[in-house]
Structure 1
Amino acid sequence: MNNRVVNVLAATSVAGLLFALFGLSSGTAGAADPAAQVKERQQTMKAMGGGLGAVAKYVKGEGATAEDASKGVAALVAASGKDPKAVFPEGTEVGVGDSAAKPELWKNWSKAQSDWGAVQPAAQKLQAALQGGDRAQVAQALAATSKTCGGCHEDFRIKKN
């Protein structure tokens, strides 16, 4: 079996595992207190950011391998597949724990849902580009995915210092 097939199989396995784990943890969101829900959201966002970071390091040649990038994008795809109501339950805005979510997120829920829904297709395009092996295409898909994430952050997250 060649390395490319092994990488694809490994990424798919990791994605499935992460999806299962994220799915199990999101099932507890309704029973958790708001501060715990904020922490759970932050873990989801860190997984997504870490996934993007792994791909960025690969694209820039900063020590990450194609396998690292594949695992990173698999985590991003899995996390972005979570139900936005589980990631952003009402009552978890700024002032709850160390939440950075603006109240506008729930006031404009249809846009927030649309923004969240755009992340997974962008991440899947990034995953396909990565599987294609062309770093220039990976870089373009990474930029598009980052822009998708950043747009939501611009509208619905307070700026961190």
Structure 2
Amino acid sequence: MSAARPFTFAPLVVAIAAIFAVPAIAANLDAIKERQHLMKENGKATKAGAAMLKGQAEFSPDKAKEVFTQMHEVAMKFGDYFPEDSKTGNKTEAAPAIWNKPDAFKAELMKYQKDTQAALDANPQDLKAFGQSFAMVTKNCKGCHQEFRVDKR
């Protein structure tokens, strides 16, 4: 009769393990969703800046500041959303290199932070100055995406 006891506890052990696994999965997806949200915000800022450069939207120093502020805010938060347990799920485009080369990823992120701050500090007052700062900032996007992003579109 004592041999049957381990089997009666097996479903209970599985149920308890499942309960504790759910918060871990939710944390993964929360981190992935937040970094996806931040990249969408960055994309909106990039599109607004590109529209000004193409003459599709009117340039103003206030709008330029808004674009660079939004990009800088993303730059300052983005690195916080790459825990080890967020490598997969929710159609993430984060490349394995983020975790395989953490120092290189941090260096890219710090460069983006520095360049977005420099663009803010430059406070461009005309389209030409805005274009120069915008080119410097968006060059970071391309560089980071080449090594640290897997395009799943």
**So what's the TM-score if we normalise by structure 1?**
0.71
Q: Contact 2:52/2:59 (CA < 8 Å) preserved in 1? A: yes
Q: Contact 1:74/1:127 (CA < 8 Å) preserved in 2? A: yes
SS in 2 for 1:132: coil
1:111 partnered with 2:104: yes
Superposed counterparts of 1:35-54, under 5 Å: 35-54=29-48
CA separation of 1:36/1:146 partners in 2, compared to 1, >3 Å: closer, same or farther? same
Shift of 1:70: 2.2
Runs of 4+ in 1 over 4 A off after TM superposition: none
2:134 matched residue in structure 1: 142
Task: Give me the whole-angstrom Cα distance separating, in 1, the residues matched to 2:78 and 2:91.
Answer: 21
1:87 partnered with 2:81: yes
Shift of 1:125: 2.4
- Tell me the C-alpha RMSD between the 2 structures: 2.1
Structure 1: gaps of 5 or more residues: 1-29
Larger Rg: 2
1:158 partnered with 2:150: yes
Q: Contact 2:71/2:116 (CA < 8 Å) preserved in 1? A: yes
The alignment-based identity, stated in percent, is 26
Paired AA for residue 105 in structure 1: I
Shift of 1:126: 2.2
When the two structures are aligned, how many residues end up with a matched partner? 129
Aligned partner (choices 105, 117, 120) of residue 124 of structure 1: 117
